[in-house]
Copies of this chain bind each other. A is one copy, B any other.
Amino acid sequence: MPSRHLKGLCFHPSKEARCVTCSLSSLCLPLSLNLEDIDQLDRIIKRRQPLKKGEYLFHQGDNFDCVYAVRSGSIKNYAMTNEGEEQITNFYLPSELVGLDGVDCDTYPVSAKALETTTVCEIPFSRLEELAVELPELRAQILRIMSKELRDDKQMMMLLSKKNAEERVATFLSNLSTRFKRRGYSPYTFRLPMSRNEIGNYLGLAVETVSRVFTRFQNNQLIAVNGKEVHILDMEQLGLLAGLVTQESSPRIASSS
Contacts and interface: CB of A to CB of B under 8 A. Distances in A.
Contacts of A147: 100-105, 146
Interface in A126-162: 129, 132-133, 136, 139-140, 142-151, 153-154, 156-158, 160-162
Contacts of A160: 157, 160-161, 204
A104 B158 contact: no
A256 interface: no
A133 B153 CA distance: 28
Interface in A222-257: 243-246, 249
A79 interface: yes
Given A100-B150, A154-B109, A85 B162 contact: yes
Contacts of A245: 82-83
Contacts of A153: 150, 153-154, 156-157
Interface of A: 77, 79, 81-83, 85, 87, 89-90, 100-105, 109-110, 129, 132-133, 136, 139-140, 142-151, 153-154, 156-158, 160-162, 201-204, 243-246, 249
Given A110-B154, A133-B133, 15 more contacts: A82-B244, A82-B245, A83-B245, A87-B158, A90-B154, A101-B147, A101-B154, A103-B143, A103-B144, A105-B147, A129-B139, A132-B139, A133-B139, A139-B139, A142-B143
